[in-house]
Amino acid sequence: MGRKLCLAIGVGDAPPLDYLPGAIAGAEAIAVLAISQGYETTLLTDAGDDPVDVDNVQAAIETLLGNADCDRLIVYFAGHGLSNQRDGDVWLTSRWRTRQQSIAVSSLTKRLESHGVRNLVIISDACRVVAASDDTRDLDAMGVVGKGKFAGATPQIDMFKAASGARAAYMLPGTPSRCIFSGLLAEALVGAHTNAFSSEGGMRRIEGWSLAKFLKAEVPKLAARYGVVLEPEVGATALLQKLG
C-alpha cells in the first residue's frame, strides 16, 4: 500500500497585508488531524522566526514525496491569496512583496500530477480577489516543483477552495481566531458534524464528496451569521474516496 502524505502551510505574516493568526491555527489543526490518520505530515508556518517562502515549500514537498509510492498527497494552504488573468489563483508567501514571488495553484497542481500521486487533494483557504496593484502586477507565480517522471499520469484530484472566484475568504474574530472555511473543515474531519458523513455501502465515514457537500451547504450559513458572503468552490470526486 502506498504512502499518505500531508503538507500543511500557514502564512500569517505577509507584510504589508494584515496579519492572519487564523491561518496558523488552520494549518496546525490540519497537521494534527493528518497525523492522527497516519499521514506522514510536514507543518510549515511562519509563526516563529522563519518565513515561509517558495524555496522551503519546494523543499518540504520534495522531501515528503521522496521516491516512494504515494496513494494520497494533501496540500493545505491558509493565508493571503489573489487571482489574476495570467496565473489564476496564487498563494502569497511571507516575503512575497520583497521577493516578488508567489505560488501558482494551477501550476503546482499540474506539476504534482507527474510525481506519481494517485490522489491529490488541494485545500486552499485564501482569498481569490482580483488584484492589479504595483506590488502584484509583476509578481512571479511559481509552480514550486519541477516535473516528475510520470508524465501523462492522470491522478484523481480533489480541490477544496474556501471562496468562489474573485471573492474573499474570511477569518472569524476572537481568541483564538480561525478561518471560517478551515474551522468547519476541521470540525467535520473530527466527526463533529453528522451531515459530513456518507453511509454509502453501509459504512459511516467521511468521503471526499460528502465533505464537499457539507462545506457547500454549511460554510455560507456560518459566514452569513457574521454578515459576510462566502461560498466555497469544491470539486471532490463522487467516487468513494476516503479522506482518512
pLDDT tens, residue by residue, 215-236: 999 999 999 999 999 999 998 7
Domains located in the chain, CATH noted: 3-168 (3.40.50.1460)
pLDDT attached to residue 241: 40
- The model's pLDDT over 36-58, given as tens digits with 9 standing for 90+, comes to 999 999 999 999 989 999 999 99
List, in order, residues 6 or more apart from 226 with CB less than 8 Å away.
170, 172, 180
pLDDT attached to residue 144: 98
pLDDT reading at 66 higher than 80: yes
Average pLDDT over residues 189-194: 94
Identify the residue with better confidence: 105 or 243.
105
**Degrees (nearest 5) of the Cα angle 42, 56, 160?**
55
pLDDT attached to residue 138: 84
93's grid cell: 508567501
pLDDT reading at 110 higher than 60: yes
The percentage of residues in the chain with a pLDDT greater than 70, rounded to a whole number, is: 95
- The model's pLDDT over 145-158, given as tens digits with 9 standing for 90+, comes to 998 888 777 889 99
**Degrees (nearest 5) of the Cα angle 57, 63, 65?**
100
Average pLDDT over residues 169-187: 92
Phi, psi angle pair for 185, to nearest 5°: -60, -50
What confidence category does residue 207 fall into, taking pLDDT thresholds of 50, 70 and 90? confident
Buried b / exposed e over 20-47, threshold 16 CB at 10 Å, is bbbbbbbbbbbbebbeeeebbbbbbbbb
pTM of the model: 0.94
